[in-house]
Amino acid sequence: MGDQRECREKLALLQEELELERVKAAWLQTLLELKESEGESLPSPPATYGEAVNVLFPSKPWVPALFCQAYLDMRERDPRASNTFKAFVERYPHHPLADDALYYMAQEALRLGDRKKALALLGKLVETYPHGDRVSQAKLKIGLILVGEGRIKEGEIEIEEVLEGSPYTLGTQEAEALLKRGGR
């Protein structure tokens, strides 16, 4: 029981750090897109997680309102969240948060018990955004779903791919712990 609590606490910290990095990346993307309109004053990227949370409101320029709405809907467990994330990906397929939108759609599918849809969305994320910051988490989640379905060898392969990526990517420590518990 203590291991689960500790894992949840570590995961929460990683999610906070990741959210800040994502916000900074989105800010830089917007800065590049707005470079044409020189002279316009742009806000500085957020320096703390508290400031990053403020980005989730549509008045902030570096995160499109559509993503903000989808994220807020997801936090409220509103069933429209997945459709709004889908609209975001269709409208902004090259935005730094597009892979996040697919990941959140998969999370919503899992929350609703639709593993098949979650696997399809995570597979699309890995295929469409092979260098995205959510890939290692997506592969880890795919591995966990496969293991949960009794497809242990396939799941282990996905989890091992997380480890083969970079030792510094998100999900690597979790993948190592899972494989060690499985006797590898």
**Which is more confident, 12 or 143?**
143
Torsion sign over Cα 98, 113, 6, 155: negative
* Per-residue confidence (pLDDT) for residue 172, from 0 to 100: 54
pTM here is 0.61
29 alpha carbon, distance to own chain's centre: 17
Q: What is the pLDDT of residues 71-124, one digit of tens each?
A: 888 888 888 999 999 999 999 898 888 999 999 999 999 999 999 999 999 999
- Taking 70 as the threshold, does the pLDDT of residue 7 lie above it? no
Average pLDDT over residues 60-68: 72
b/e code 25-43 from CB counts within 10 Å (16+ = b): bbbebbeeeeeeeeeeeee
Mean pLDDT of the chain: 74
Q: What is the pLDDT of residues 100-110, one digit of tens each?
A: 999 999 999 99
- Taking 50 as the threshold, does the pLDDT of residue 36 lie above it? no
pLDDT band with cut points at 50, 70 and 90 for residue 127: very high
Nearest by Cα to 100 from 28, 48, 25, 7? 25
Which own/partner contact pairs does 48-53 have at CB distance under 8 Å and 24+ positions apart? Answer: 48/20, 49/16, 49/17, 49/19, 49/20, 52/19, 52/20, 52/23, 53/19
* Per-residue confidence (pLDDT) for residue 34, from 0 to 100: 54
Give the SS3 label for residue 73.
helix
b/e code 158-167 from CB counts within 10 Å (16+ = b): bbbbbbebee
- Taking 60 as the threshold, does the pLDDT of residue 39 lie above it? no
List CB contacts of 14: < 8 A, sequence separation 6 or more: 170
* Per-residue confidence (pLDDT) for residue 1, from 0 to 100: 57
